[in-house]
Amino acid sequence: MSVMETSAHQGAAEYRIAIDKNATWRQLAAGLDPELALYFTVSARCGCFMQAARSLNIKATRLRRQLVLLETQLQCSLFNHSDNGFSLSRDGLRLHAQLIALAHERNLPVIEQPLIRLAVADSILRDVLGRDLVALLRRNARVRLDIISLDSELSLQAASADVAVWLGKTASPLPGPSFATTEPRPLAQLDYLPHIAKRYSRVASRPEHLDELADFLLVQWRQDCQVECFQPWNALVDERLAGVVHLQSYELMLEMIRCSACIGLLPHYIGHFDRGLIALPGLFDQPMRRQVWMAVNARSEDDAQVRMIVELIENTFSERREWFE
C-alpha cells in the first residue's frame, strides 16, 4: 500500500472515530435526566454557579452536588475550575453543544412565571420587608414580582394586588383593599413617637415637654397629615408659623431627621433599623398607634408563588417581633 493510500485510510478512520464520538455524546445528551441537563446548561450559560443557582431558584450547594452527580454518571470532568470561576472542559463543551442542538430541535418554550403583585405600605416596605425581599430576589432570579408602594388609603383602594400589607386602625382593618380578600390578619402594632438624631441631641438637652420643641425644626411626612390617630402631632405641626417642613418622600424625611437636626414622627421600631435615631417619649399624653394588616386576594390565595410571598412576610414579622414590643 502506498503512502498516500495509508494516509487516506488513517484519515477515514479518524473521521469515523469522530463521528462515533459525536453520536455517543448525542446519545448521552438525549438520555440525560432533564433536571440534570437543565442544571448543566444553565451553569454553562451563566458561567457562575451562584448566578445559575439564583436562576434555578435552588441553593448553590444543591447545584454543585447535582453537577458532581452528573460528572459521576458520565465518568468525565465537565468543568475546568480556577480562582476566577470555571470554564467548560472539552467534554463539557461537547455535551453542551449536543444539549443546545437538542433544545433547538425540540424548540422548548420558556416556562412563563406567574406575575405576583405585592402592595405594601411605603414605610413597611422600606424599613421591615425590604431586606428580605432583596434576599428572595438573590435566591430566585426567575420570579416575576410587581411591588406596589402604598402611601395612603386612596392608593390602597386603587391597588390591584395578590398580597396587600397596609397600615390601618388598631381595632379594624377597614378601610382595606377594594378587591375581595381573605380575612385580614394583624401582623404588628406600631407606636409612633417623635424622633431625633442622637448626634444632634445630648441627653441633657433633649426636649421633655411640648413647649421645648419651639427651638427645633419639625419635619412632616405629608401622608401622615390625614391619619386620624396622629391628631396630637398633626395639630402641633399645623400650629407652627415657622420651623416646619412638609415632605412627600418618606426617604427624604428620614434623611432630614438624620442630618438636619429635625424632629419627625416615626414608628418606635426605627431605633432597631437605624441606631442613630432616638425616640422622644412623654411629649404627648395620647398614644399614637397603628396596626399592620395583611390580606391575600381571594382569587390567588392557593397559588404557590403567592404562598411563598405570604410566608416570607409572616416570617419577617416573626423574626423581628422584638421590634414591635
Kindly state whether residues 88 and 122 are assigned to the same domain: no
Domain boundary among 54, 83, 106: 106
Kindly state whether residues 137 and 211 are assigned to the same domain: yes
What pLDDT, on a 0 to 100 scale, did the predictor assign at position 98? 87
Kindly state whether residues 94 and 143 are assigned to the same domain: no
Residue range 278-320, pLDDT digits in tens: 999 999 999 999 999 999 999 999 998 999 999 999 999 999 9
Kindly state whether residues 99 and 126 are assigned to the same domain: no
Kindly state whether residues 256 and 131 are assigned to the same domain: yes
Q: Residues 132, 138, 143, 145: what is their CA dihedral angle, to the nearest 10 degrees?
A: 40
Q: Number of structural domains, the chain?
A: 2
Residue range 22-79, pLDDT digits in tens: 558 888 888 888 888 889 988 888 888 888 888 888 888 999 999 999 999 888 999 9
Residue span of the structural domain in which 96 resides: 3-106
d(CA 207, CA 71): 69
Residue range 212-245, pLDDT digits in tens: 888 899 999 999 998 999 999 999 999 999 999 9
Domain boundary among 106, 138, 155: 106
Residue 75 sits in a domain whose CATH number is: 1.10.10.10
Kindly state whether residues 123 and 249 are assigned to the same domain: yes
Kindly state whether residues 320 and 265 are assigned to the same domain: yes
Those residues whose C-beta lies under 8 Å from the C-beta of residue 33, and which sit 6 or more positions away, are none
